[in-house]
């Protein structure tokens, strides 16, 4: 992906052609082996880093002028610090194994025209003092760029890089997630999980995608697609494989005969009604030591309007007893408040969002002060309550 991006982007290709050693890590442009001077008047080598703005596999420079630097504080040839370009001095984890010690902020009168202009300007500021002490030294090493890291995405995640949360996002990169049930909530879960760098996303559902599904799920299928009545797993794999390479469809319902399909996953979202099979699934996950989230929705039409409760119940190796003490149902359907089958897209999306937020809390992406394992949202009072905290 790195070489394709470089070859398709005029500014990046120009950097390579002129001998600059660049790499692409996530949505970061690295210009390596840039000479500079430290406080002891020694010539050292550092790395310039810039977030990338992309349009597919082509750079789309957005006018930003901030860069990062991994090295010591850059100095003039006499050892005095170059304060003019240093905006802040603090260790920053940019994700994808990239760290920086300083943030640069220097903007020419008319701004930078592209990434070539930006990176070569910063490189010249850093390397000019080094050339005074060591004539002929510069950042043009004529090293051939490598292919860079392999990604689970078909195009680079520039959102995490722009937000400065690349390191947090990478906490999810080792996950292998399973979604059991691709109804309204399950399909919205897929939409959210597919935007994370998890290694694989296993989809389990034996049903077909019909017209009523289209009105309580993300995206917008065409009437031609609906006429084909595709299997849900195949339809959703086709949609999200455009973005994520790790979608694995299984057109089966989990049963006693295929519980082994859950072996190897690291997290599971359960989006099916209660029943004996749910008990078997949970027993299997507990035996495997796998964390999971079970979701439920119960809506009732009363006096001309809908009301009800959404539920998100988590189970981790450190806290499981509540699962077997009535927080979820193992009967033929959800108890009482969850008994109806009314579903609407907005509440399915909210239920999925609450579940994904909890998953990310468990994995350290979000701050988790209460460490709740059971959360309920009541529609009529707009009330969100937590319980089973640890």
The dihedral region occupied by 234, where left means phi > 0, alpha psi between -120 and 50, and beta the remainder, is: alpha
User: For residue 149, how far is the Cα from the chain centroid?
Assistant: 16
- Tallying the residues shown for the chain, one arrives at 390
> Which one has a higher pLDDT value, 238 or 336?
238
Percent of the chain with pLDDT over 90: 82
Question: Tokens for 90?
Answer: 């603090």
User: For residue 86, how far is the Cα from the chain centroid?
Assistant: 30
Q: How far apart are CA 260 and CA 192, in angstroms?
A: 26
- pLDDT-derived band at 40 (thresholds 50, 70, 90) equals very high
Three-state SS string over the chain comes to: CHHHHHHHCHHHHHHHHCCEEEEEECCEEEEEEEEEECCCCCEEEEEEEEECCEECCEECCCCCCEEEEECCCCECCCCCECCCCEEEEEEEEEECCEEEEEEEECCCCCCCCCHHHHHHHHHHHHHHHHHHHCCCCCCECCCCCCCCCCCCECCCCHHHHHHCCHHHHHHHCCCEEEEECCCHHHHHHHHHHCCCCCCEEEEECCCECCHHHHCCCCCCCCHHHHHCCCEHHHHHHHHHCCCECCEEEECCCCCCCCHHHHCCCCEEEECCCCCHHHHHHHHHHHHHCCEEEEEEEEEEEECCEEEEEEEEEEEECCECHHHHCCCCCCCCCCCHHHCCCCCCHHHHHHHHHHHHHHHHHHCCCCCCCCCEEEEEEECCCCEEEEEEEC
* Paired sense of beta strands 247-250 and 200-204, if any: parallel
- What lies within 8 Å, CB to CB, of 215 at 6+ separation is 345
- pLDDT-derived band at 388 (thresholds 50, 70, 90) equals very high
Q: In the predicted model, what is the mean pLDDT of residues 299-321?
A: 93
Q: In the predicted model, what is the mean pLDDT of residues 343-353?
A: 95
Which tens digits make up the pLDDT trace of 90-146?
899 998 889 999 999 999 999 999 999 999 999 999 999 999 999 999 999 988 776
User: For residue 376, how far is the Cα from the chain centroid?
Assistant: 25
> Which one has a higher pLDDT value, 161 or 312?
312
pLDDT of residue 146: 65
pLDDT of residue 125: 97
pLDDT of residue 97: 87
- pLDDT-derived band at 1 (thresholds 50, 70, 90) equals low
Q: Is pLDDT at 285 greater than 80 in this prediction?
A: yes
- Cβ atoms of 351 and 218 closer than 8 Å: no
- pLDDT-derived band at 151 (thresholds 50, 70, 90) equals confident
pLDDT of residue 372: 96
Partnered with residue 153 across adjacent β-strands are: 244
- pLDDT-derived band at 335 (thresholds 50, 70, 90) equals very low
pLDDT of residue 343: 84
Percent of the chain with pLDDT over 70: 96
pLDDT of residue 337: 42
pLDDT of residue 293: 98
- pLDDT-derived band at 336 (thresholds 50, 70, 90) equals very low
pLDDT of residue 334: 44
- pLDDT-derived band at 149 (thresholds 50, 70, 90) equals low
pTM for the structure as a whole: 0.81
Q: What is the CA radius of gyration of the chain?
A: 26
pLDDT of residue 143: 83
Backbone angles phi, psi at 24, to 5 degrees: -115, 120
Across the chain, mean pLDDT equals: 92
Q: Which residues of 61-77 are buried (b: 16+ CB within 10 A; e: fewer)?
A: beebeebbbbbbbbbee
Q: Is pLDDT at 37 greater than 90 in this prediction?
A: yes
Q: In the predicted model, what is the mean pLDDT of residues 197-209?
A: 97
Question: Tokens for 352?
Answer: 């999925």
Of 261, 267, 252, give the one whose Cα is nearest residue 365: 267
pLDDT of residue 340: 53
Q: Is pLDDT at 154 greater than 70 in this prediction?
A: yes
Whole-Å CA distances, 333 to 204, 311, 328: 19, 14, 10
Of 186, 351, 196, 333, give the one whose Cα is nearest residue 273: 333
Which tens digits make up the pLDDT trace of 66-96?
999 999 999 999 999 999 999 999 899 998 8
Q: In the predicted model, what is the mean pLDDT of residues 16-28?
A: 92
Q: How far apart are CA 179 and CA 193, in angstroms?
A: 10
Q: How far apart are CA 14 and CA 31, in angstroms?
A: 13
Return the CATH class of domain 174-389. alpha beta
Question: Tokens for 63?
Answer: 């006018």
Residue ranges per structural domain of the chain:
2-154, 174-389
Q: In the predicted model, what is the mean pLDDT of residues 44-67?
A: 94
């Amino acid at each position: 992906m790195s070489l394709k991006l470089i070859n398709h982007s005029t500014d990046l290709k120009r950097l390579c052609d002129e001998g600059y050693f660049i790499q692409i890590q996530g949505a970061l442009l690295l210009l390596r082996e840039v000479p500079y001077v430290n406080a002891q008047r020694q010539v050292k080598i550092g790395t310039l880093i810039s977030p990338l703005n992309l349009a597919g596999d082509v750079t789309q420079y957005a006018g930003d002028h901030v860069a990062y630097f991994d090295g010591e504080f850059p100095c003039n040839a006499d050892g005095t610090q170059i304060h003019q370009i240093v905006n802040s001095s603090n260790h920053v984890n940019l994700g994808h194994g990239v760290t920086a010690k300083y943030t640069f902020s220097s903007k020419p009168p008319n701004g930078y025209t592209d990434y070539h202009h930006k990176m070569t300007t910063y490189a010249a500021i850093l390397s000019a003092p080094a050339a005074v002490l060591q004539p002929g030294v510069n950042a043009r090493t004529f090293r051939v760029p490598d292919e860079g890291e392999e990604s689970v995405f078909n195009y680079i995640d520039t959102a995490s890089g722009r937000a400065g949360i690349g390191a947090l996002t990478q906490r999810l990169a080792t996950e292998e997630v399973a979604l059991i049930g691709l109804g309204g909530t399950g399909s919205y879960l897929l939409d959210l999980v597919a935007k994370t760098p998890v290694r694989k996303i296993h989809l389990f559902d034996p049903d077909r995608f019909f017209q009523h599904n289209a009105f309580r799920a993300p995206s917008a299928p065409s009437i031609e697609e609906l006429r084909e009545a595709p299997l849900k797993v195949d339809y959703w794999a086709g949609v999200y494989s455009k973005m994520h390479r790790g979608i694995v469809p299984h057109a089966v319902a989990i049963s006693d005969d295929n519980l082994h399909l859950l072996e190897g996953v690291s997290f599971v979202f359960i989006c099916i009604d209660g029943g004996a099979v749910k008990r078997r699934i949970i027993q299997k996950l507990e035996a495997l030591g796998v964390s999971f989230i079970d979701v439920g929705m119960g809506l009732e039409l009363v006096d001309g309007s809908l009301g009800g409760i959404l539920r998100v119940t988590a189970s981790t190796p450190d806290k499981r007893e509540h699962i077997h003490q009535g927080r979820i149902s193992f009967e033929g359907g959800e108890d009482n408040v969850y008994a109806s089958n009314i579903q609407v897209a907005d509440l399915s999306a909210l239920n999925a969002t609450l579940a994904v937020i909890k998953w990310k809390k468990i994995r350290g992406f979000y701050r988790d002060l209460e460490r709740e394992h059971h959360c309920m949202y009541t529609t009529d009072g707009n009330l969100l309550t937590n319980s089973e905290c640890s």
